[in-house]
């Protein structure tokens, strides 16, 4: 770390020691776990436009394409393990330094590292929901059903996106079969918020509550490009809550932040939150 970053980290460490920190994490926190951030500096621009709810529910071919790609992507996302950044956040929570954890990620890696009560703004790819009866199915069980329904599907994923989508040529999709709800035959969808879909109101208000009760809003690995995340920074500023950002590359939260650390999360986060608690 260069001297400037060392000084910034020391300042942030002091804020952590005061407690009352709310973490807001984005894709940049999970890149060290092998899940690429297609918006960030290390991610390549994706070819597929993200799936929308309207296309998913209204276009059977698009839905087949989506499930084929998502099925491949799950092999990467489902096997991803938490990294030092996720472990640091779980440790801060264990030490009582956090007022809450909000994530834009759908990979479940905060919880895998031991964090509790995580507000998953955009849902979690590890759950499948039925759009007709609402029953939730674990992704593992669903993946077994998809594999069984497609014994000859042998396509290999190339680039995997943070939302579990992969690049796949239509030719490889040949005959891919989608499965429906075992209970009611209804349409199944990953329990994630699609592009253009709104985050459920109870989740948003829970996240706003956490921000309102925070001393510091700490943004980790998000460029705050979409309003879905940026609105929490704007709310924090409005309510006099301090804002700190640790992110690789430029973020749109910069004008609002009291502190911005542009450094790899895996280098910075393990150094934080070890000092005695000020309380
Ligand atoms: Zn159902």
pLDDT digits (tens, 9 = 90+) for 82-108: 999 999 999 999 999 999 999 999 999
- Going from the Cα of 137 to the center of ligand 1, the distance in angstroms, rounded, reads 10
| Residue 42, pLDDT above cutoff 50 | no
What pLDDT, on the 0 to 100 scale, is given for residue 279?
56
Give me the mean pLDDT over the 157-183 stretch: 79
What pLDDT, on the 0 to 100 scale, is given for residue 275?
75
- Going from the Cα of 145 to the center of ligand 1, the distance in angstroms, rounded, reads 15
pLDDT above 70 covers a percentage of the chain that reads 93
- pTM: predicted TM-score of the whole model, two decimal places: 0.89
| Residue 4, pLDDT above cutoff 80 | yes
122 is catalytic: yes
- Going from the Cα of 187 to the center of ligand 1, the distance in angstroms, rounded, reads 7
- Going from the Cα of 130 to the center of ligand 1, the distance in angstroms, rounded, reads 5
Rounded Cα distance, 24 and 4, in Å:
23
Give me the mean pLDDT over the 61-68 stretch: 90
Give me the mean pLDDT over the 4-33 stretch: 96
- Going from the Cα of 48 to the center of ligand 1, the distance in angstroms, rounded, reads 28
Of 71, 86, 99, 122, catalytic = 122
Residues by chain with Cβ below 5 Å of ion ligand 1:
130, 132-133, 181, 183-184, 186
Tell me how far CA of residue 190 lies from CA of 136, 168, 180, in angstroms.
Answer: 9, 19, 12
- Going from the Cα of 193 to the center of ligand 1, the distance in angstroms, rounded, reads 18
What pLDDT, on the 0 to 100 scale, is given for residue 278?
66
- Going from the Cα of 58 to the center of ligand 1, the distance in angstroms, rounded, reads 18
């Amino acid at each position: 770390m260069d001297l400037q970053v060392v000084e910034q980290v020391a300042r942030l460490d002091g804020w952590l020691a005061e407690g009352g920190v709310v973490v807001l994490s984005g894709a940049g926190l999970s890149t060290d776990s092998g899940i690429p951030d297609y918006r960030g500096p290390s991610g390549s621009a994706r070819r597929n436009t993200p799936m929308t709810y309207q296309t998913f529910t209204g276009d059977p071919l698009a839905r087949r394409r989506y499930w084929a790609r998502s099925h491949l992507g799950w092999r990467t996302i489902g096997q991803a393990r938490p990294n030092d950044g996720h472990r640091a956040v779980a440790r801060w929570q264990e030490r009582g330094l956090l007022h809450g954890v909000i994530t834009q990620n759908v990979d479940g890696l905060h919880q895998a590292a031991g964090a509790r009560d995580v507000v998953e703004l955009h849902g979690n790819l590890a759950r499948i929901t039925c759009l007709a009866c609402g029953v939730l199915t674990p992704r593992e069980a669903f993946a077994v059903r998809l594999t069984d329904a497609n014994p000859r599907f042998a396509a290999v994923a190339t680039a995997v996106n943070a939302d579990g989508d992969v690049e796949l040529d239509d030719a490889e999709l040949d005959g891919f079969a989608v499965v429906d709800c075992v209970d009611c035959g209804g349409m199944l969808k990953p329990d994630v918020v699609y592009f253009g879909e709104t985050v459920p109101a109870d989740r948003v208000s829970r996240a706003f509550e956490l921000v309102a009760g925070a001393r510091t809003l700490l943004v980790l690995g998000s460029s705050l490009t979409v309003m879905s995340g940026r609105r929490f920074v704007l709310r924090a500023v409005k309510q006099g809550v301090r804002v700190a950002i640790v992110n690789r590359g430029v973020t749109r939260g910069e004008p609002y932040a009291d502190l911005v650390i542009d450094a790899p999360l895996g280098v910075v986060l393990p150094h934080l939150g070890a000092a005695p608690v000020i309380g």
